[in-house]
Amino acid sequence: MNDNDPNKSAIALGYAADRHNAPTLVAKGRGLIAEQIIALANEHEVHIHQSPELVDVLIRLELGEEIPEALYVAIAEVIAFAYGLKATD
């Protein structure tokens, strides 16, 4: 994992139904920061979904910003997939 790829990008989304209308961007970065985000997700057994196209859009958001409504379906598909994986554990 420590390939030190400066072009690698990663984002992390968080969602609290009692505080947000939609998932929010809680972390973003490129290169070493992206590697650290991925390492923390692995360490805490958080689902990692690889979609370079989606990351390219979401990395433009500001930290704490909710995902745009236009991306609700794409994010819902990722969340549903993650829940499906969790159910099979």
Amino acid, single-letter form, for residue 72? Y
Which CATH fold topology does 9-87 show?
Answer: name from scop (3.40.1690)
Task: Please name the residue that has the structure tokens 């805490």.
Answer: 44
Domain layout of the chain by residue ranges? 9-87
User: 65 in helix, strand or coil?
Assistant: coil
From first to last of its 89 residues, the chain has per-residue pLDDT tens of 455 687 899 999 998 888 888 899 999 999 999 999 999 999 999 888 888 889 999 999 999 999 999 988 888 888 787 777 666 66
Classify residue 27 as exposed, middle or buried by CB count within 10 Å of its CB (0-12, 13-18, 19+).
Answer: middle
pTM here is 0.78
